[in-house]
Amino acid sequence: MIVQEIIAKSVLSKSQIYDYAINPYVGCSHSCRYCYAAFMRRFTGHKEKWGEFVDVKINAPELLAKEIKRKQLGRVWVSGVCDPYQVVEKRYELTRKCLEILVKNQWPVTIQTKSSLVLRDIEILEKFKDIEVGFSITTADEKIRKLFEPGASPIKERIHALDVLHSKGIQTFAMIAPILPGAEGLIEELAEKVDHILIDRVNYFYANRIYTENRMDWAKEDPFFIEGAEELKEGFKKQGIPVRVLF
């Protein structure tokens, strides 16, 4: 893994999903095989494959402290095109420092991650008036997880993290996209740990809205995704968990 420190020009960017997005890192060591953000590599000058490098925006908190003063209040997505709690966050704590600034100003935040490291910052999360923490979870089968998301936290760790956050009164959700084999096992596992569920066939909920070139239209007609989504929807409804299917 190549890790290099860089100086960014700005950090609070406009987003098509929420009002803003903050990406303290460029690149993502989770290295998901289906990653919708992999196109970012071409803007970095890196020759390594996506998942093999991370650029660290070491001035991200300083930038945010300045930018937050001159921009209009809005919801911030943490992160968008990287995981804010990937491995380097343990050492650099950039996400943590950015959250400290956001909570001081009480900006609403949506965190999305595949890492249980988010629990490290629970005392900051609890101070927000408006925050939700989502975990992307695509299967309940750890063998499948290792194949598709080799650098991310094991499924049980993610579910445990959701449980802890939910029990502290923090809004939680799970994003099941893409639906992978073994996703149906999540119906039981997520009960009473999330406030709602989002389901998509592939993760083009974000990809389509950000970068249309990354569309995977073939998946729209694929019976595996259609039947999988239906089964999940019914299962979660029986558990009393609100579900949004994004197609």
> What does the binding site for ligand SF4 look like in residue numbers (CB under 6 A)?
28, 30-32, 35, 37, 82-83, 114
DSSP assignment of 92-108, as one string?
H-HHHHHHHHHHHHT--
Residue pair 182/144 in contact by the 8 Å Cβ criterion:
yes
Residue pair 194/173 in contact by the 8 Å Cβ criterion:
yes
Residue in the block written with tokens 């993610």: 158
Nearer to ligand SF4, 89 or 132 (CB): 89
Quote the CA–CA distance of 229 and 178 in Å, as a whole number. Answer: 10
Nearer to ligand SF4, 8 or 87 (CB): 87
- Kindly state the smallest distance separating residue 197's Cβ from ligand SF4, in Å: 18
Nearer to ligand SF4, 103 or 199 (CB): 199
Quote the CA–CA distance of 35 and 41 in Å, as a whole number. Answer: 12
Nearer to ligand SF4, 34 or 184 (CB): 34
- Kindly state the smallest distance separating residue 114's Cβ from ligand SF4, in Å: 5
- Kindly state the smallest distance separating residue 82's Cβ from ligand SF4, in Å: 5
Nearer to ligand SF4, 157 or 231 (CB): 157
Contacts of 197 (CB under 8 A, 6+ apart): 173, 174, 175, 176, 190, 232, 236, 241, 242, 243, 244
- Kindly state the smallest distance separating residue 153's Cβ from ligand SF4, in Å: 10
- Kindly state the smallest distance separating residue 166's Cβ from ligand SF4, in Å: 21
Token pair in block for residue 10: 């700005």
* Burial class of residue 141, CB neighbours in 10 A (0-12, 13-18, 19+): middle
- Kindly state the smallest distance separating residue 107's Cβ from ligand SF4, in Å: 22
Nearer to ligand SF4, 11 or 82 (CB): 82
Q: At what angle do helices 60-70 and 94-105 cross, to 10 degrees?
A: 20
